[in-house]
Chains A and B, each alone.
Chain A
Amino acid sequence: KAGVTQTPRYLIKTRGQQVTLSCSPISGHRSVSWYQQTPGQGLQFLFEYFSETQRNKGNFPGRFSGRQFSNSRSEMNVSTLELGDSALYLCASSFTGQGNEEQFFGPGTRLTVL
């Protein structure tokens, strides 16, 4: 069974640009969550989607947005990039998105903002 895949794996952008990251969950999983990982702030929750609906959102500015498609694939978008957006962006999937359910993480997209 294929794991969670994220594309692209690496991305370099300049300040002010926008970026779109993609996540394909494990087949059959309907919940996708996104996390930002930085050395200073650790792993921080961005948002969670279930059946194409955003179910939960972390404490990030409106420049960060996401969506989920009918096949459960998800994208996140960051507009007007800032240097501080440089991070590893991880997505995780699970079957139903219940709080005590195992989440499977992808390898992440490493975003560098110059």
Chain B
Amino acid sequence: QQQVKQSPQSLIVQKGGISIINCAYENTAFDYFPWYQQFPGKGPALLIAIRPDVSEKKEGRFTISFNKSAKQFSLHIMDSQPGDSATYFCAASKRGATNKLIFGTGTLLAVQP
């Protein structure tokens, strides 16, 4: 129940294409769903996050789609660029006084020029 399942494990997209990464969770107590981007040699950096009270959130080229009934959420990267090549992690945390994040297994994205 604590798991967050992420797919695909790796993804190759052409420059200008759309990258889509999917995550699923079981625990309905989760109420915060962030996506992190990690470059080699760096710590993860928050990309975008969503709460279950909205179905979609967009920030620039990055969009989270959230399906509460299916317990699934996904990251869409529009007009993918070579600079987007990184590892992406979805995560979830519960409401309340805790910062504990449960991470997905990560997706290695390569955007080809």
Contact = CB atoms under 8 A, between A and B. Distances in A.
Interface of A: 4, 31, 33, 35, 42-45, 48, 50, 55-56, 58, 90, 92, 94, 97-108
Contacts, number: 77
Contact of A45 (B36, B44, B101): B101
B113 interface: no
Interface of B: 31-32, 34, 36, 41-46, 49, 51, 89, 91, 93-106
Most B CB contacts (10 A, CB to CB) among A35, A92, A100, A108 go to A100
Given A4-B43, A43-B44, A108-B43, A100 B31 contact: yes
A98 B51 contact: no
Contacts of A101: 99
